[in-house]
Amino acid sequence: MSGAATTRSAADLLAERLAALEPTVFDLHDDSAEHAGHAGAAGGGGHFSLVIVSKAFRGQTRVARHRAVLARVGDLIPHPVHALAIQAYAPEEFPSLPSKDAS
């Protein structure tokens, strides 16, 4: 783990690393409180849920999208991130985006 990971929050690191995907939606939720008592939580690792929408995901399988995310943040696991639930979409697959973003 790098020194940067110890001085900045896991959420900040995730957001910074995933900015390279130029997301049109980035909704990161810290679920750590729901996992109190879990071994990973006891060790200080956070639990997060992520919804990310990016043009970079167009034409990619679900596995390829997860790999793209994990390629940028995988070194943060298991600490400071213990678990990351990923929902990754292309803009046209995410219904709440304005139609102009789907082009």
Instruction: Give me the CATH number covering residue 89.
Output: 3.30.300.90
CB atoms within 10 A of CB 5: 15
Could you give the percent of the chain with pLDDT greater than 70?
A: 75
Q: What is the pLDDT of residues 57-77, one digit of tens each?
A: 999 999 999 999 999 999 999
Instruction: Say which range, 7-16, 33-42, 73-82, has the weakest mean pLDDT.
Output: 33-42
pTM over 0.85: no
Number of structural domains, the chain?
1
Q: Measuring CA to CA, which residue among 92, 14, 96, 3 is closest to residue 55?
A: 92
CB 27 within 8 A of CB 89: no
Q: Which domain holds residue 83?
A: 3-102
